[in-house]
Structure 1
Amino acid sequence: MRYAWLCHPVTVTGVLVLLINDHLLKHTWPGFVTGKLSDVAGLVVAPALLALLLRRRADLAAILATGVAFALVKTTETGAELASQAWTFVAGPSRVLADPTDLLALPALALAWWVRARSLSRPSSSRWRIIVTMPLALLAVTATSSATPPYSAESVEVDSGGRISVPTYGRTTWISDDGGLSWSEITGDNHPRPAQSAQCVPGQATRCYRITAGRLGVEQSDDGGRTWRPSWEVTGDALERVTRQYGGQAPDLRSRALAVQARPGGHVVVVANGVDGLAIRDTSGTWRRIGWPGLRTAEVDTGPEWGVALFLAACVLFGGVGAGLRRYTRAYTGSAVAACLGLLLLLNGWPTPSDDISLPLRVLGFLAVLTGGVICVVLAVGRTRPVATAVGVLGAPLVYGSVYLPFAGWAEGTPESYSVAVAIASLLTAIVVLTSAALIRHDTRRPKPFPDE
């Protein structure tokens, strides 16, 4: 009966809405309608999936758990953060935002309960419906979302009272009364003065600072501006991380303005870095890139590495299962190749409003993954060697983790070097793939426990 709930036409419609809206429409026409449509469809589908993990007659618990989890994620920063971490591991760099207006979708749980009641009188779903619906539902609920702070620091001002102000586009200004040690955010009309790109330390005309043109950096002069040397800049792996944080805004990543303030024990320098927020030199001479005080910075985009991990995991899954197939090997291989090639199109064809060609390519890739995957599942069920199937099913997530996790660590600064992350990922992946191949080869050399069909 629980499978009948998942395979009910309304639930299946919700799955299709999630797939089309989250993986296609949201990227082409982002906005209120596509955002809320995903919430409604997700609340219809999620209880049916969750009920599969619970004991029979726990359907009410599945619906209540879905509603409570949804409310916590949408109304608390802790819930949104936990959801972000979970989705990042499952579906690549993701950001789930707390948005209380999404609670408008909660009445969709009533529709889920109605569907559950209707499914009680339906006969058990056939195996092919379950096989098709289950992976589609899991794929549908793994859409991602991201966001960056809606600020851009364009100037820095120090008033006669020693207050440091950083006006941003819009009605937000960041204020510090202690030389940049702490910051507060105020809203209201701001009228920033023209950006100041260079300044000498008050009372110390020989020490001067200026922003580095076209880069995230500051230069320093100790002879009143006659010669300059780098004082702080973002380079190498740190620059790669920053560039990936802001994606399409990366070409505009540069320092905009600075201000120097004399403080007891030395001086401080505050730098406005556009969308990247602030950088500060304290009185000890230490530079810190602090971004937006108190706000979570944008996620480092490890999308390309996530795509490679997902593609290799799919190859291991299809390859492992196919290696133990006793019949229909040609049809299975062709379908598996089509599914993997379709996955490549999906991973490399994310559409944007100005990219009309990638949308049909992505639709084609989606159809190839769907068709090829379903055919492979139908052909494989009941016809594969258990060991080969187990190797494929277990090896796929191991390959995914061995490829993706080193780069996820690099995005957080450990390891520091991208080349080290590449070496770690390559070594771990090679171990998993070679071990999987050895296990399958050993199994195929054993006598078959059953005759060919």
Structure 2
Amino acid sequence: MTIAGVLVLLVNDHLLKQSWPGPVTGKLSDVAGLVVAPALVALLFWRRADLAATVLTGVLFTAVKTTETGAELASQAWTLVAGPSRVLADPTDLLALPALALAWWVRRRTLGHPGSARRRIIVTMPLAVLAVAATSGPIPPPSATAVEVSPSGRITVHTDRMLDLVSEDGGRTWTERTGEDKGRPAQSAQCVPWQPARCYRLVQGRMAVEQSDDTGVTWHTSWEPSADDLKRLSRQYRPDGLRSRSLAVREQPNGQHVVVVADGMAGITVRDASGTWRQIGWPGTEAAEVGVEPEQNVAIFLAACMLFAGAGAGMRQFTLAYTGSALAACSGLLLLVRSEVLPPYPEVVLGVPVVLIGAALLLAGVTVCLVLAIAGKARPASAAIGALAAPLVYGAVYLPFTGWARGTPDSYTLALALAVLLTGLVVLASAAAIRRDARRATSGYFAGSSTSRPT
């Protein structure tokens, strides 16, 4: 039963949660976890102690799900085990507690074979840790929520956690300190104290700051990220967490001023004394990775198509059947590589999950293609060209977007143009090589058939 619970956790957290996130898959993880956990906790005792392990599991689960302290301790524990993790307190998860009765019943049934049961638990423990660790996601980034300037000139940026970022030199350098749990000022507009005609205000719902030089009569954009910068930020953080939430103006000794903006998950933006705006993010912290999963999915799909096409071009028999099987395999792969670049599709078709349809099509298509390629005596050279071109196509699509994620090229449009150009070159070169191989095979065939015996 422990092994079955581990398998349920693995399937639910690595597949079902990704396809159908919601309360059903969430509670299923809790139920399966409570079935597995008592057997693992029992390993902490020298002798078999089913009752103590079951009760301890229930107490710990209740503490984690009903208190912020318990959830925070659980988050730190799972971070040590499985990397950065976040466990959330949710009292509704206590509905899964009756699963402990099932765990108790299963453990009692193994009383006749305590040694073998213990060995099975030890063997499955690494798998169980992997499965349970999947229930806790990565820690979401903090969010800069408010900015304030003290009379001494200290700039403090508050976050939604017990963390403040403090600058004593007008926003040039920043240090972290433990925040205080108090009401945070979150002003959205402020004028320069000794220059009342110059004012700044946030743009509602966006990462942008407007400026007025006539005491608020007219406004123009003073700062906003470029379209490409905003696209990168949306790949690093949740798009709904990218908006300017507070600003403050700090007086400089030379009569100039500094503006500091709290930009939610994007961190901090500073206008220095020279008037230059810089989006500095989270000082002292490594920037979140810019995700290019949609483009990577497209690269995988096109590479697979190239692989099938290379083998298919060398088929001597069963060409039509091979083409249909290859299309089925590519269609299945297309359903599996979910991508924002591709048009959306429904989660369920005729009551069957789309992910299962995709897996079945891919498996069946690949199997039939392999059989037909062997039976149809596909030319080895064409298959080899397709196998070589597949990773080249993958790199041609994926590498330009990887460079864009790092800032080179700066334009997403340019990265897209490079990907199209490089992919086209690989496809044309592969097609020319396959055509040359086909001509050579054909000429060899006719040369061999033209021989005759003297009569």
TM-score (norm 1): 0.66
Instruction: Mark the CA change 1:279 to 1:188 in structure 2 (over 3 Å): closer, same or farther.
Output: closer
**For 2:441, what is the secondary structure of its paired residue?**
coil
Aligned to 2:109: none
Alpha-carbon shift at residue 403 of structure 1 (Å): 1.3
Instruction: Mark the CA change 1:312 to 1:101 in structure 2 (over 3 Å): closer, same or farther.
Output: same
User: Is the Cα contact below 8 Å between 1:254 and 1:274 reproduced in 2?
Assistant: yes
Aligned to 1:253: 242
- The 10-residue stretch of structure 1 (145-154 or 283-292) with the greater mean CA deviation from structure 2: 145-154
Instruction: Mark the CA change 1:163 to 1:148 in structure 2 (over 3 Å): closer, same or farther.
Output: same
Alpha-carbon shift at residue 432 of structure 1 (Å): 0.5
Instruction: Mark the CA change 1:193 to 1:235 in structure 2 (over 3 Å): closer, same or farther.
Output: same
Within the alignment, does 1:367 sit opposite 2:360 as a pair?
Answer: yes
1:27-60 deviation digits (Å, cap 9, x = unpaired): 63579969x99xxxxxxxxxxxxxxxxxxxxxxx
1:246-297 deviation digits (Å, cap 9, x = unpaired): 3xx3145221110111123422111011121110111121111111122233
Within the alignment, does 1:304 sit opposite 2:297 as a pair?
Answer: no
Aligned to 2:3: none
Alpha-carbon shift at residue 435 of structure 1 (Å): 0.8
Alpha-carbon shift at residue 212 of structure 1 (Å): 1.8
Within the alignment, does 1:343 sit opposite 2:323 as a pair?
Answer: no
Count of residue correspondences: 343
Aligned to 2:175: 184
Match 1:445 to one of 434, 439, 442: 439
Aligned to 2:378: 384
Q: State the distance in 2 between where 1:16 and 1:368 align.
A: 24
Aligned to 2:147: 156
Bigger RCO of structures 1 and 2 (CA < 8 A, at least 6 apart): 1
Match 1:207 to one of 183, 198, 213: 198
**For 2:232, what is the secondary structure of its paired residue?**
helix
- The 10-residue stretch of structure 1 (254-263 or 441-450) with the greater mean CA deviation from structure 2: 441-450
**For 1:440, what is the secondary structure of its paired residue?**
helix
Q: State the distance in 1 between where 2:290 and 2:81 align.
A: 27
**For 1:438, what is the secondary structure of its paired residue?**
helix
Aligned to 1:83: none
Instruction: Mark the CA change 1:197 to 1:277 in structure 2 (over 3 Å): closer, same or farther.
Output: same
Structure exhibiting the larger radius of gyration computed from Cα positions: 2
Q: State the distance in 2 between where 1:344 and 1:234 align.
A: 34
Letter of the 1:179 counterpart: G
**For 1:214, what is the secondary structure of its paired residue?**
coil
Aligned to 2:224: 233
Alpha-carbon shift at residue 225 of structure 1 (Å): 2.4
Aligned to 2:102: none
Aligned to 1:101: 81
Aligned to 2:50: none
TM-score (norm 2): 0.65
Q: State the distance in 2 between where 1:432 and 1:18 align.
A: 39
Q: State the distance in 2 between where 1:175 and 1:433 align.
A: 54
Alpha-carbon shift at residue 401 of structure 1 (Å): 1.0
User: Is the Cα contact below 8 Å between 1:155 and 1:193 reproduced in 2?
Assistant: yes
Letter of the 1:360 counterpart: P
Gaps of 5+ in 2: 1-5, 34-77, 84-118, 125-133, 341-345, 449-455
Instruction: Mark the CA change 1:442 to 1:30 in structure 2 (over 3 Å): closer, same or farther.
Output: farther
Task: State the Cα RMSD in Å.
Answer: 4.0
User: Is the Cα contact below 8 Å between 2:294 and 2:339 reproduced in 1?
Assistant: no
Instruction: Mark the CA change 1:371 to 1:189 in structure 2 (over 3 Å): closer, same or farther.
Output: farther
User: Is the Cα contact below 8 Å between 1:172 and 1:190 reproduced in 2?
Assistant: no
Within the alignment, does 1:421 sit opposite 2:415 as a pair?
Answer: yes
Aligned to 1:22: 14
Q: State the distance in 1 between where 2:26 and 2:393 align.
A: 33
User: Is the Cα contact below 8 Å between 2:147 and 2:185 reproduced in 1?
Assistant: no
**For 1:155, what is the secondary structure of its paired residue?**
strand
User: Is the Cα contact below 8 Å between 2:158 and 2:184 reproduced in 1?
Assistant: no
Q: State the distance in 2 between where 1:446 and 1:213 align.
A: 67
**For 2:209, what is the secondary structure of its paired residue?**
strand
Instruction: Mark the CA change 1:390 to 1:16 in structure 2 (over 3 Å): closer, same or farther.
Output: farther
Instruction: Mark the CA change 1:243 to 1:363 in structure 2 (over 3 Å): closer, same or farther.
Output: same
